[in-house]
Amino acid sequence: MRYTVHLTTRMKIKLAWLFCLILANILLARNLSTGTALAAKNKKTSRAGLWTRLVDMPEPREQHGFEALNGILYVVCGQSAPGTHENDVYAYDISKNTWTTKASAPIALQSPILRAVNGKLYLIGGFDSTIPLKYDTAFEYDPATDTWTKKASMPTAREDMASAVVEGKIYVFAGITNPGSDITSVVEVYHPATDNWQIKSNMPNPRCLGDFGCEYKGKIYLVSGTDTMKDYPRLFPSTRVDEYHPAKNDWIRKANIPTARCYKEVEAVNGLLYVISGATDSIKNHTPRMEIYNIGNNTWTVAPDAPYAARAAGLAKHNGKIYLSGGFSNGRYLKCLYRLEPNAIPK
C-alpha cells in the first residue's frame, strides 16, 4: 500500500526554517574552528611559556637597538641589507599592537647599545661598515618631544659591546674598537643626570658580538660572546658567564652557559636570565636555542626552542614579558616580532 504525505504550507515553512537553522549551526561551527586555527597559528606554547606573533616591524632589521620604555618598544638604527645602515626609528605600542614612525636618529649605524633611563632613550656607540668606523657618540631621545640631543661622547669608540643599567647609570663593557677588530677590556659608565662618563677597572675577560649584558637586583650579568675575532666570519664563542658588582667593582665567575653563542641578547625576568637565538660557530650558523639561567641556584635549563633561528635579533622586556624582534636568518633580514610570556621558574 502506498501512502502519500500532503504537507501544508505551514509545515513546509517550519521544515524550511529547521533546515536553515541546522545549516547555520554547521557554518558557525566551521567558522569558529577556522578562527581558532588561525589564532593558534600565531601562538606556540612550551614549557618556557607562551610565544605569540605580533604585528611585524615596518622594515626588516638586524643588529638594531631595541628597548622598552613606558609601554612602547623602540627599534632604532640597524642593518636592513648588506652594508646598508639605517637611522629610522619605529615605535610599537604594546597595548594597541601598532607601529608608528618617530624622528630619525642623528646617525645611521649598526651594533649600538640602546638603553632607557628616567623616561629617555640613550643610543651609544655603533659601527658603519662602509667607512669602516666605530663610533663614540651618545644621543638622547625624548619621547615626549620626539627629539634627539647629542650628549657627551663615550671615551672609547666601539661596537658590539655589552651594557646594562644600574641605579640610573649605563654601564658599557668591552666590544670592538678602532682600528680593525681589536677587542677592548674597557668598562665605562655614563651618568645621564650629569652627562659625563666614568672609567672603571677593566673587565678580566673581554668579549664582543651582541649586547650580551643585563641587570638584575643591582648586579650585572655578561653571558657568552667571543674573546677573539680571529678567522672571522668563523666564530669561537665562549661559554663564560660573569657576574659584576658595580658597588664593589668586582667580578664573580658563574656556571657556564650550555650553548656558546654570539650575536644574541639577554633579558632578566623574575630571577631568570633568558638567552634566545644567536650565531654559533659561524655568522651563517644560527640557532633557535633558548636557555634559561636561574640566578639564585646558579643553574641552567635548556628550554624549548624560540619560534625561529636568527643572529642579531633584538630582545627587550616589559611588564614581565619578553619581546624578540627581527634578526638575520637563511639569507634574509627579518621584521617579525614575537612576545614570550614566561612560565614559572624552571627547577
Residue 250 or residue 8, greater confidence: 250
Residue type, 319: N
Q: What is the pLDDT of residue 343?
A: 86
**Where do the domains of the chain lie, and which CATH numbers do they carry?**
53-342 (2.120.10.80)
Q: What is the pLDDT of residue 42?
A: 74
Q: How confident is the model at residue 26 (pLDDT cuts 50, 70, 90)?
A: very low
pLDDT above 60 for 1: no
Grid coordinates given for 45: 606554547
> Are 340 and 318 within 8 A, CB to CB?
no
pLDDT above 50 for 24: no
Task: Determine the Cα–Cα distance for residues 94 and 97; give it in Å rounded to an integer.
Answer: 5
Grid coordinates given for 311: 643572529
Distances (CA, A) of 100 to 75, 293, 338: 11, 34, 17
Other Cβ atoms closer than 10 A to 159: 25
pLDDT digits (tens, 9 = 90+) for 44-99: 676 789 999 999 999 999 999 999 999 999 999 999 999 999 999 999 999 999 99
> Are 184 and 203 within 8 A, CB to CB?
no
pLDDT above 50 for 7: no
Q: What is the pLDDT of residue 82?
A: 94
Range 303-306 contact pairs with CB under 8 angstroms and sequence separation of 24 or more: 303/46, 303/47, 303/48, 303/346, 304/46, 304/47, 304/48, 306/51, 306/276, 306/277, 306/338, 306/340
Q: What are phi and psi of 32, to 5 degrees?
A: -65, -40
Q: What is the pLDDT of residue 29?
A: 43
Distances (CA, A) of 52 to 40, 48, 55, 91, 197: 9, 13, 10, 19, 39
Average pLDDT, the chain: 90
Q: What is the pLDDT of residue 180?
A: 82
> Are 167 and 155 within 8 A, CB to CB?
no
pLDDT digits (tens, 9 = 90+) for 286-332: 999 999 999 999 999 999 999 999 999 999 999 999 999 999 999 99
Q: How confident is the model at residue 35 (pLDDT cuts 50, 70, 90)?
A: very low
pLDDT above 50 for 8: yes
Among candidate residues 127, 124, 123, the one with its CA nearest the CA of residue 111:
127
Q: What is the pLDDT of residue 16?
A: 53
CA atoms within 13 A on the CB side of 322: 26
Average pLDDT of span 230-237: 96
pLDDT digits (tens, 9 = 90+) for 131-179: 999 999 999 999 999 999 999 999 999 999 999 999 999 999 999 998 8
Q: How confident is the model at residue 192 (pLDDT cuts 50, 70, 90)?
A: very high
17-31, 210-224, 311-325: which has the minimum mean pLDDT? 17-31
Q: What is the pLDDT of residue 344?
A: 59
The vertex-30 CA angle with 25 and 34, nearest 5°, equals 150
Any residues with CB less than 8 A from the CB of 181 and at least 6 apart, and which?
229, 232
